[in-house]
Structure 1
Amino acid sequence: MATVLAEKVSTGESSDGKSGTWGGSRAFALLLVMTGAAGVLAAWVITLDKFTLLEDPNFIPGCSLNPVVSCGNIMKSEQASVFGFPNPMLGLVAYGGVVCVGMGLLAGARHRRWFWLGLNAGTLFGVGFCTWLQYQSLYNINSLCLWCCLAWVATIVMFCYVTAHNIEHRILPAPAGFRAALGEFHWAPPVLWIGVIGMLVLTRWWDFWTS
């Protein structure tokens, strides 16, 4: 299957993973590097603004553009420090780790099943946490943060393609028909997912956008 997900990067890798290790295509590795870097950028900017806000309660972040797109409202909320410290500090570590994985794949790294399952579990946690934050932003905090939106998109794309990679290489079990369809239309899940979030944002503040 000649898709972005089906390319093998090392000699000796069989389609069913009999070698016990799996690599990834160059495109997949670059995707991990780019989405991880986008997440690091978003987390870094939010962290700096959060520290500035702690020093100066009157500070207005540059991404606070109007009552809806207001990063300051997000940073001041309880949801912004779920684990007792600013959420983006967790992102700095997690997204940085993804960049390292992508760079390793570009260098020809191959990993065992437990590694790929662990990466999938980590991205699942990340996308679940982002989904909770999306709900909080839309329906409880009633504000959006552009940098948060960048992190959401990066995490969704990351999760979808890590999962697709694992299904393609049979690290995760799936019917052959589903595996073939996913290989052909690997772009569909993240596009539809992000599209749904866009529609929710649009309808949530429809009156504001159209006024």
Structure 2
Amino acid sequence: MSIATPAPVEPTEPADSAAWSGGVAVRPASAWWVLIAGVIGLVASATLMIEKVEMLKNPAYVPSCSINPVLSCGSVMATPQASVFGFPNPLMGVAGFAVVVVTGVLAVAKIRLPRWYWAGLTLGVALGAVLVHWLIFQTLYRIGALCPYCMVVWSMTIPLLVVSASIALRPLAGNPVARVLYTWRWSIVALWFTAVILMILVRFWNYWSTLI
């Protein structure tokens, strides 16, 4: 009589590792938002880069977004803050939003990317958000002018951070803090927009009041 030998057991991947390495299903609304935000941010960044090149070629050039003393891209792009790392800031936007566009296309096509990829994207967008807030402060309280195309980038970065974080951090849904942040995420975004708009209104009220 032969004794049956047990079949070899394949090593299983730890649950935590599988959660982060497995492909993530992204809701259509989130996928489209990533794509749309990426396209808008890329167009705004590329336009800024083109305007910057024109200014370098011709110091007398007036950018298309220099509308009045407050809404003046030229005033902003001529400052050191416009080249934080020694090269024009829009280059970072072009590179970063290009990645976002590709990610959005893949997500819309229902191609599942690993969660670690979404986590990396979220980290990159978070770093961009930090830079955005620094630039908001510099624009309002040091430069004293607003760049419309820059504000388009601002307005895309924060919601994009919320969406990418919602996708990447889904395994933390059981965490009470994460659950509260997820539940109120769009309210937080709305408060952010409200705060920025109010700061702009207050900072340049002397000019806005002349238009009334």
1:195 has 2:184 as partner: no
Shift of 1:190: 1.5
Shift of 1:162: 1.2
Residue correspondence of structure 1 range 1-211 to structure 2 within 5 A: 17=19, 20-167=22-169, 169-170=170-171, 173=172, 175-211=174-210
TM-score under structure 1 length normalisation: 0.85
Deviation digits for residues 46-67 of structure 1, max 9, x if unmatched? Answer: 1111111111111111211111
Question: 1:113/1:142 Cα in 2 relative to 1: closer, same or farther (>3 Å)?
Answer: same
Query: For the residues of structure 2 that align with 1:66 and 1:18, how far apart are their CA atoms?
Result: 49
Q: Kindly indicate whether the alpha-carbon contact (under 8 Å) linking 2:65 and 2:73 is maintained by their aligned counterparts in 1.
A: yes
Matched letter for residue 191 of structure 2: L
Q: Kindly indicate whether the alpha-carbon contact (under 8 Å) linking 2:21 and 2:115 is maintained by their aligned counterparts in 1.
A: no
Query: For the residues of structure 1 that align with 2:97 and 2:145, how far apart are their CA atoms?
Result: 24
Structure showing greater Rg: 2
Q: Kindly indicate whether the alpha-carbon contact (under 8 Å) linking 2:21 and 2:114 is maintained by their aligned counterparts in 1.
A: no
Shift of 1:185: 4.1
Query: For the residues of structure 2 that align with 1:165 and 1:133, how far apart are their CA atoms?
Result: 27
Q: Kindly indicate whether the alpha-carbon contact (under 8 Å) linking 1:74 and 1:145 is maintained by their aligned counterparts in 2.
A: yes
Q: Kindly indicate whether the alpha-carbon contact (under 8 Å) linking 1:161 and 1:186 is maintained by their aligned counterparts in 2.
A: no
Q: Kindly indicate whether the alpha-carbon contact (under 8 Å) linking 1:63 and 1:71 is maintained by their aligned counterparts in 2.
A: yes
Stretch of structure 1 that moved more, 68-77 or 18-27:
18-27
Shift of 1:182: 4.7
Deviation digits for residues 59-117 of structure 1, max 9, x if unmatched? Answer: 11121111111100111000111122111011111001001001101112222232121
Percent identity, aligned pairs only, is 33
The SS at the match of 2:193 is helix
Query: For the residues of structure 2 that align with 1:102 and 1:194, how far apart are their CA atoms?
Result: 23
The SS at the match of 2:196 is helix
Shift of 1:207: 1.5
Shift of 1:202: 0.8
Query: For the residues of structure 2 that align with 1:205 and 1:165, how far apart are their CA atoms?
Result: 37
Runs ≥4 residues deviating over 6 A: none
Query: For the residues of structure 2 that align with 1:96 and 1:191, how far apart are their CA atoms?
Result: 26
Q: Size of the alignment, in residue pairs?
A: 193
Matched letter for residue 149 of structure 1: M
Show the counterpart of 1:11.
Answer: none
Shift of 1:179: 4.7
Q: Kindly indicate whether the alpha-carbon contact (under 8 Å) linking 1:49 and 1:61 is maintained by their aligned counterparts in 2.
A: yes
Q: Kindly indicate whether the alpha-carbon contact (under 8 Å) linking 2:116 and 2:168 is maintained by their aligned counterparts in 1.
A: no
Q: Kindly indicate whether the alpha-carbon contact (under 8 Å) linking 2:20 and 2:114 is maintained by their aligned counterparts in 1.
A: no
